[in-house]
Amino acid sequence: MTPAPAGAAAVRAAAPAVRRLAAPALRVAALLGRRLALLTVLLAVVFAAVELLPGDAASATSDRGEGAAGVARRRHLLGLDRPVAERFLDWITALPTGDLGTSARGTPVTGLLSAPFPNTLLLGGTAFVLTVLLSLALGCWAAARPGGTVDRIVDLTSTAAFALPEFVVSIGLLLVFSLGTGWLPAATLTGADGSPSDASMLVMPVLALAVPQTGWNTRVVRAALADQAATPHVEAAVLDGLPAHRVLLHHALPGALPAVATGIATSTGMLLGGAVVVETLFNYPGVGTVLAGAVADRDTPVIAGVVACAAAVITVVLFLADLVRARTLGARP
Amino acid sequence: MSVAAAPGPSRGGRPPLRALAAAAPFLALVLLAPAGPLLAPHPVDRPVGAPYAPPGAGALLGGDQLGRDVWSRLLHGGGALVASALAVAVAVTFLTTVLGCFAVLSPRLGRAVERTADLVMLLPPVLGFMLLALAWPGGRRLAVATAAVALGTPYAVRVVAAAAAPLAASGFVEAAVAGGERPVHLALREILPNLRSTVLALFGLRFVEAVYVISVAAFLQLGPQPPTPDWALMIRENAPGILLNPWAVVAPALAIGVLAIGTNLAADHLLPAGRRTAALR
């Protein structure tokens, strides 16, 4: 991003200030450009993969006994008889406007996803926030006394937790909260607008997503703090006799943030993918249901649309992690 | 991430007792899963009681949604999961190790590996194998295994490359380079033998990841189809009856849980502290 053209003289007069502001802005723009380029490449790969699939949307949804002429007519109607490159260009230029293309049944994919995708984002986002808070808290608690009882217990439970598939965690939660205590219903009840009827419906799905990812990220936080504890500036703070919690939070944690941000950002994909699984089990009204239907119908445009949405969300989170990393590493060249 | 320390001499040779103890559940399940069908008291495809019958005289763990014996289906349901997870873990570890050893010698290959890993990170694994399941309708287990290998390899190559990087800069490799050794010799004879502990731990972690991917795919009914007995599929099919006969769901969930946790704890013991964090996914 170049600074706005505001008169050459003024720019020259303010040159040092502009340079001070422009350099970080340029760096941020470069990071954003890199992430967007990766996103575009992934979308191209997905689109090409969809193209290479045997059978297209027109034949996948053909009614029994429909003749070749009917299929050809619908192929023309869906625009599938145009060159691949042209259709990819149309698809990808329409994406930023919120148009995800047309499903095999002829309905807009955006319309199919507009109600369930926010529900899935709510589920994944809540689990994301919970994961960040829990893993930072647990990682710091464990790092406060390296090798102590808390450290060993946190290490063991986090290792155990992140190995578990979300649906296995869900079964454990169902046993405790529905079967054992009867506190929560086993399936999601939805209101008139198709969203979960109240917040308690979110408790089990969110926990099922957050438990494995918290296990993983607690380990990332713990390892990053251990790396920081060995750096000279943290050792100096310890030798200065600063209280342990002050050393941990003000000296070790800031340096650990880049590694933590990267770790948590890589969890985003697992959270979104896991959401699809957990939704199936709890009958939660998210994209999981739409995807299950799309797989059964071989409705590839819908799946490509979900991939595009998920990849966009992951790109945003990875970009935020890039910013955290650039900020921390930039402050200490 | 924290991969600063050179791998140093392998910790292998004499596995510590604690690692063996941690690996016990994993080894027991891997050995028992193929033998399970021999111990099953009932056929897996015919009802022996009422649907969701509670545990009783005829059926140790009760009946499933069609009244079939849960215990027999449990004994049948792990063999294919364990076998395909092992196959995926072997394939990914092999590919990753070879690619990783070459990636540290060739900057161009190294960059390509980095870019691919960045790219794959944007695709949640669940969506990845849904796409592949669509592309390959008859693929079933093979399609899921292929997706697991394709999606798991790029990130794991990074891990091996990170562990191998200090080796590539070490004196003995530089001496071999100066001696005019070819890249194949450098990668396979100089670098690879020093990565034993990394590769062993990587194998354990890839097995955990493979169990995750394959069981999630089965749960989403993309892998084995009913009426195949399969732990993940049993959970999916019997979940509506969890209030009537919890064992039909809890027993397979426990089996997957023990398999995953046991393997993960065993792998954890194999990897030197600190390197662990970088070694998964």
Mean pLDDT score, B146-153: 87
Yes or no, beta carbons of A310 and B127 under 8 Å apart: yes
Yes or no, beta carbons of B256 and A165 under 8 Å apart: yes
Closest Cβ opposite residue A174 in set B215, B242, B273: B242
Yes or no, beta carbons of A292 and B261 under 8 Å apart: no
Q: Which of B279, B138, B272, B117 is nearest to B209 (CA)?
A: B279
Measured between CB atoms, does A319 come within 8 Å of chain B?
no
Q: B50-98: per-residue pLDDT in tens?
A: 888 888 767 788 888 888 888 888 888 888 889 999 999 999 999 998 8
Yes or no, beta carbons of A277 and B260 under 8 Å apart: no
Answer for the pair B63, B49: CB distance below 8 angstroms, yes or no: yes
CATH tag, A116-284: 1.10.3720.10
Chain A to chain B Cβ contacts (< 8 Å)? 162
Partners of residue B236 in chain A, C-beta under 8 Å: 167, 280-281
Test mutation, A36, A128, A171, chain B, max B CBs within 10 A:
A171
Yes or no, beta carbons of B126 and A276 under 8 Å apart: yes
Answer for the pair A158, A216: CB distance below 8 angstroms, yes or no: yes
Q: Which residue of A has its CA nearest to B130?
A: A295
Partners of residue B135 in chain A, C-beta under 8 Å: 49, 52-54
Q: A126-164: per-residue pLDDT in tens?
A: 999 999 999 999 999 998 888 889 999 998 899 889 889
Q: Residue A66 — pLDDT band, cuts 50, 70, 90?
A: low
Cβ count within 10 A of residue A278: 27
Predicted local distance difference test score (pLDDT) of residue A12:
56
Highest mean pLDDT among A4-8, A81-85, A256-260: A256-260
Q: B17-32: per-residue pLDDT in tens?
A: 766 776 777 777 777 7
Yes or no, beta carbons of B127 and A303 under 8 Å apart: yes
Test mutation, A46, A155, A168, A325, chain B, max B CBs within 10 A:
A168
Test mutation, B26, B70, B126, chain A, max A CBs within 10 A:
B126
Q: Which CATH superfamily is domain B18-37+54-279 in?
A: MetI-like (1.10.3720.10)
- Domain coordinates in residue numbering, chain A: 116-284
Helix (H, G, I), strand (E, B) or coil at A108: strand
Q: Residue A295 — pLDDT band, cuts 50, 70, 90?
A: confident
ipTM over 0.85: no
| Closest-CA distance of chain B to residue A8, Å | 40
Closest Cβ opposite residue A164 in set B125, B249, B261: B261
Answer for the pair B153, B128: CB distance below 8 angstroms, yes or no: no
Partners of residue B248 in chain A, C-beta under 8 Å: none
The answer on pLDDT for B273 being more than 50 is no
Burial B44-77, CB ≥16 within 10 A → b, else e: beeebbebbbebeeebbbbbbbebbbbbbbbbbb
Kindly state the tokens that stand for A93: 């230029």
Strand partners, B98: none
Q: Which residue of A has its CA nearest to B237?
A: A281
Predicted local distance difference test score (pLDDT) of residue A61:
59
- Domain coordinates in residue numbering, chain B: 18-37+54-279
Mean pLDDT score, B88-116: 88
Q: What is the pTM of this model?
A: 0.83
Choice among A209-213, B149-153, B276-280 with the minimum mean pLDDT: B276-280
| Closest-CA distance of chain A to residue B248, Å | 11
